[in-house]
Chains A and B, each alone.
Chain A
Amino acid sequence: MFELYANALVNGILLGGVFALLAFGMNLIFGVVKIIHLAYGQCVMLGMYLVYTLVVQLKIPIILACLISLPVMGIVGVVLQWLVINPLLKAKANPLTQLLALAGLTIVVENLAQVTWGADLRGLNIQLPLISVGDIYLRTSNLIAFLGALITLGGLYLFLNRTYLGLAIRSIAQDVDSARLMGINPEKIYYITMAVGGLLTGLIAAFFSPIYAVHPHFGGSFTMMAFIIVVLGGIGNLLGGFIGAFVIGIVTSVSAVLTSTEIADIITLVIFIAVILVRPQGLLGIRISR
């Protein structure tokens, strides 16, 4: 019995690593562009469909397919910025309008997926070996995802803190006008942020492809998950998102074993509702006046 929970715990932690990437992407975009990217999970889904198409239909080796998906999704991020977010920013839409516009986008993307790839599950069907540590079985796919995520997060941390561009991004997040006076072009930063966000969705898609089979509603549950993590950790708070990711990863994993996957989802949603009600700035967040 203990092994069951221990396994769930460990695999939850592993998954938490990838969720942390998801949360990072959303927090970065929110912090810089100041928009809640409701369609982020759907972008991951697109990335997964891309990998699927490359591997299964075009017979491209998996690693290459994953590498290709990165810049492609980065471009998707840029296109989104250009076609959807820029107009929203220029129209000075209020947060609700932004939410609705992005919700509309999720409908578009999900149905695009359904039209192009059909409604059934599309999986890579690869079996990676299990590694056993004592009585605990680690799936290699989860382990790769976890390590990859940590490395990426480390790289992103260095990028944000040690480079001029990273500094520019952090400045725009804090005071756009002041940043302008330093010679920083806000639009260029928005595009770069969305590109990085997009790249991340490609990376997450690459990590998820060996683990999950994708279907048109896959994006929805991940957006919800990312949302819950981000709210839990405090919207815009990168560290909070990191911690929140592991918390939710573990909670989901363990609840699924305790009860069932659906009840696990219900539990996470209820946590989400509770956090919004009681502490909308998240457990670690700074209060943002809305």
Chain B
Amino acid sequence: MRSGLILIVIFAAVIAFPHLLPSPYLIHIGTLIFIWSFITTSWSYMGRFGLVSLGHGAFLGVGAYTSGLLFNAFGLSPWIGMLLGGLAAVILAIIIGYGCFRFGVIGDYFALLTLALGEVVALTIIAFRDITGGSLGFTLKSKGTSFWYFQSEEKIHFYYASLAFLILALLIWKWIDRSKMQKALRAIGEDEIAASTLGVPIIRYKMVITMISAFMTAVGAVLYAQYITYLNPHTLSGVAPSLEIAFKAILGGMFSLWGPTIGTALTVSLEEYFRVVYGGTFVGFSQIIYGLALVLLIIFLPKGIYGSLEAFFKRTKDH
């Protein structure tokens, strides 16, 4: 009951925040946190069950570019674009996922394969530079403030919109948690062979969770693209964003509901802090600290920050 109360308080604070402290910069940070938490949480749908993907950049790229290009070329509403982008990501997920699960590619080989996939998408986007603008990316055409075109000149709209998306992602997390799928995937995660002899349809469940994760990630990418109104293959595909997503989730603890969000909030804040304090002089300095912190964390706190805290409190409660 206590945790529910805390949640309501935090929620109220978050909603009221832009009105209490109308700083465009902080609202911007908040929005970024919500968007990336959405994406990171979607990643952890797979991650928590042992399907650690280091290539979600592939879904980001496919989603954002599908929607963005259709929007610029045909004025297609990003809401539809989101669905199409999500669909494209799902198709990619099906092809790769089926290949992997059918051939029993798991664990770190799976991670490596997805890593390569993220790069393939990035390189493909860059290669077709006539359409996509290549390494330089492209800007979305401006339509002013419009719900239908999912653009706004007021940051605060995106603040609430991405908050809503994040809540959706969290609800879906909870839904997965309660479903039959969760038990099956847990069993698969612990002992795949045993699970299959018990008749658990392994490939099917893995495919489902991968498809959900891919779809949501692509949607998140569209959300981000609409907010920034600029797409670039280095931020929306390839190795870098893929690793960042994985790291944020693991940092916060990919096995818990709030883990990815906390991990994202921490890293985004940290990055911003370093950029503000050291910004001009040390471009990339923040990343170094960030990378170092991650390496140390991975070695010493395999459950992530939130997960470890959760376990710690559980243990003290039991005593």
Contact = CB atoms under 8 A, between A and B. Distances in A.
Do A and B associate with each other? yes
Interface of A: 36, 84, 87-88, 91, 93, 95-101, 103-108, 110-112, 114-115, 119, 216, 220, 224, 227, 231, 260, 262-263, 265-266, 269-270, 272-273, 276-278, 280, 290
A100 B250 contact: yes
Nearest to B292: A108
B299 A87 contact: yes
Nearest to B238: A220
A91 B300 contact: yes
B290 A91 contact: no
A269 B122 CA distance: 11
A273 B111 contact: no
Contacts of B295: 84, 101, 104-105, 108
A260 B119 CA distance: 16
Contacts of B285: 111, 115
Contacts of A96: 52, 107-108, 111
* Most B Cβ at <10 Å: residue of A91, A93, A96, A119: A96
A262 B105 contact: no
Contacts of A36: 108
Contact of B298 (A101, A106, A119, A272): A101
B159 interface: no
B299 A277 contact: no
Given A105-B295, A108-B295, A280 B54 contact: no
Contacts of B292: 104, 108
B282 interface: yes
Interface of B: 52, 54, 96, 99-100, 103, 105-109, 111-113, 116-117, 119-120, 123-124, 126-127, 239, 243, 246-247, 250, 282-285, 287-288, 290-292, 294-295, 298-300, 302
A100 B282 contact: no
Contact of A220 (B103, B126, B127, B239): B239
27 contacts: A36-B108, A84-B295, A88-B299, A95-B108, A98-B108, A99-B108, A100-B247, A100-B298, A101-B299, A103-B54, A103-B243, A104-B294, A108-B288, A111-B284, A112-B284, A115-B288, A227-B112, A231-B112, A266-B123, A270-B120, A273-B116, A276-B112, A277-B99, A290-B106, A290-B107, A290-B108, A290-B109
Contact of A276 (B109, B123, B284, B290): B109
A177 to B, nearest CB: 24
B277 to A, nearest CB: 14
- Majority SS of interface residues in chain A? helix
B124 to A, nearest CB: 6
Given A115-B288, A266-B127, A273-B117, A107 B243 contact: yes
Given A107-B294, A115-B283, A277 B105 contact: yes
B291 A104 contact: yes
Nearest to B244: A107
Contacts of A273: 96, 113, 116-117, 120
A107 B52 contact: no
A115 B284 contact: yes
Contacts of B294: 100, 104, 107
A111 B274 CA distance: 13
Contacts of A98: 108
Contacts of A100: 52, 246-247, 250, 294, 298
B239 A269 contact: no
A112 B288 contact: yes
The list of the 10 closest CB pairs from A to B, nearest first, reads A108-B291, A107-B291, A111-B287, A114-B284, A111-B284, A104-B295, A104-B294, A262-B127, A95-B108, A115-B284
B103 A277 contact: yes
A115 B299 contact: no
Nearest to B100: A277
A276 B282 CA distance: 39
Given A99-B108, A111-B291, A278-B103, A91 B299 contact: yes
Contacts of A114: 283-284, 287
Nearest to B108: A95
B54 to A, nearest CB: 7
Given A269-B120, A277-B103, A278-B103, 15 more contacts: A93-B302, A96-B107, A99-B112, A101-B298, A108-B295, A115-B285, A220-B239, A227-B112, A231-B112, A262-B123, A266-B123, A269-B123, A270-B120, A277-B113, A280-B105
